[in-house]
Structure 1
Amino acid sequence: MEAEIITIGDELLIGQTVDTNSAYLGQKLGSIGISVSRKTAIRDNESAILQAIAESQSRCNILIITGGLGPTKDDITKKTLCKYFNCGMRRDLTVIDHLEKIFAERGRQLLETNLVQADLPETCITLQNNVGTAPGMWFDQNNKILISLPGVPVEVYHLIEESILPKLQETLQLPIVEHRTLVTLQKAESLLSKDLEEFENTLPKSLSLAYLPNFNMVKLRLSQKANVASDLIIDEYFDKLIATIHDDVFCLGDKDPATHLSEHLIREGITFTTAESCTGGFIANRLMQTPGISSVFPGSIVCYSNDVKISELGVDPNIIETYGAVSEPCALAMANGVREKFNTQLSIATTGIAGPDGGTKEKPVGLVYIAVSTESQSICKKFRLFGNREQIIQRSSNAAIWMAKQVLTIPL
């Protein structure tokens, strides 16, 4: 079963707004066995919308449209859908009740402009939007399903989870779809592919393996479609996948490795801190996203200048003078110094050149030293990372998280 997505809005085409809805829709539809075959972005223009809908419905049986459902004059999706389905408008009283409740809770006056949100095409089924003012719409004609949603991401997510996925599953005969994901760090996609060549050659046709690389991290997603639960063999092959590259697996599941590390630190009560130069606090920021992190994270230091490295971390000035701030001795001194300063069991330190300026022949842009220190050992590794400034910072943080596992026993 295939679906298409149409996103409506001038702001999407000029780059003012980034379309996150399509990625979410693709993920959620895929989870119930519906593949997104095409995505089209168009401007707020009646003829463009009509043409895009007609072309899409000639190719697929499920079409999801996002955007253009606001109360202002430039939001023309509802009127255009009335023209496409050759119908008039109706005023939905359940939507009015919802609007009155929302505006009363917010202490705002409900205007006629807002009541327009309750005017819907006669041929649609109303999809109640409990987190916003614009309802979704479900059209089902000639064995073709068209779903129209507001463009606000949180409202799209709510409608998909609460209304659309259950209704699609009730309406259509869909296959069972299962996914299993694992995360690797610090190993190139090409090398993983080489290690997994034999494994992939043994995969039955109902299973597929996808490589999802991102900033020296590769997620491997094993997928299976089946008509009945008794045909599912995905867990057997996922165990084989793990066993094949066990030493390269950082964690299981589609999750941020920083979350996996912070969850382990919280669970085991391991206190930690960071001293960050080239990453500017990015590692600490990723780790502190996990609820409960305050129990093991007293604070960290962004030590960009040499003076701060010396005064706050106790780095010996002779180290910087002899080896430079971007060096293994400096990284180790930073890691040891910040761990002692905050009296923690673990520390991570980074020093390097994120660019675009500051590099030399001896120490080019992308050179990063990362040190990890515990009460019993301290280690440091040299990395040559590539990309722009943002990418080098991201890759440095993933490398630092990987290094933490070199000194800790972290279960998958």
Structure 2
Amino acid sequence: MRIGLIHYSGPPIVGGVEQTLYYHAKVLADNGYRPQLLVGEGQSFDPRVPVTVIPTLYSKHPEVLAIKAVLDSGQTDDRFDRLRHSLRERLGEAIAEVDVVIVHNALTLHKNLALTAALWDLVQTDLSVPIIGWHHDFAWDRSQYRAELHDGFPWQLLHHPWPDVVNVVVSDAQRDRLADLYSASPEMIHVIPPGIDLAVSGNWTEKTKKLVAELGLLQADAILLLPARITRRKNIEFAMRILAELRDLSRQDIRLVVTGPPGPHNPANAAYLQSLLSLRATLGLEPAAHFLYQLDVADRLVLDEHTMANLYTLSDALLFPSHEEGFGIPLLEAVYARLPIFCSDIAPFHESAGEQAHYFSLSDTPHQVAQAIAETLLAEPSLLLRRRVRSRYTWTNIVRQKLLPLLERGYVG
């Protein structure tokens, strides 16, 4: 499916709409679609995404600004009509090459009314290409714009629903405002929020990106980190039994990530890993207990410090059930990453984490420890917010869960 994305400008121009274009285009391309940008200012940012620049789409183009100055006074002139006609011709040719058009802001904002009027003209023709109006801002809803808006054409195009155009806004609050502006039912307006790129905000390494994708970590309800080599004193089998109990208690997709390889100085550690893999199968934890040493992307090596730091910030808690330790550096790293700590009640951990960690006795049953974790962690507001962001507000999930169904449910094709 070919998808045309229209806006005044695109990347690398900095702005919320430009960011939306960037991520929508990349995720659409990742999912086998063929997006292309039609913008007044912008550059190529992905070889899969053609960028066509039509300079007079840009809201700050000198010709557009000159026309806007006249429009702001309540008048139109020949320059408006000429640009309207020119854009109608250019856009008509471009739209003929796609299967659906997504227009950002031009149907509700007055920054280039010749563009708005040209799109209106195309909608009035026998246009076979469906149009989605993606409305981030509403001129008629902003007091600072009232002096620039007037009765009649073309200003009234901004506060009436267009025939056969599918309307999208970025929040429920925006939906209510647009419904009031359009004197329409909110049910006719779709809500698709913007998002964030966790890989960018978290400064992920390429290895982290591959690990997250391969393990589906963004789909997890909670991630428990066990940063240790695979040796018996780390008591990893106890962590796995806790995980099984915790998943059973919560009915949530909780994961355990064990970061290290088998310890290098004891040949028995390889056998210990095999026993852990057997236990994982017995407990039905193959989709939930992850040994990064097994993954090709980990290169069967100790992860670099940058990737380890990523895993700390990505996780929701540290689980560290060691039988014995000399000190407990992972507890310090967890503190700096703002992770709650659930660890065995041994003297070195009290020395490193003080009384701020959540301690459990090694004589406790896995069920008892899981209950304590569930009561403490799963009701923690910060965890609930992190889960909300991971599940709802990453660009990949937004496009897959919201935009793709909209494109495929009869509005196009």
Whether these two folds match at TM > 0.5 is no
More helix by percentage: 2
TM-score normalized with structure 1 length: 0.31
TM-score normalized with structure 2 length: 0.31
More strand by percentage: 1
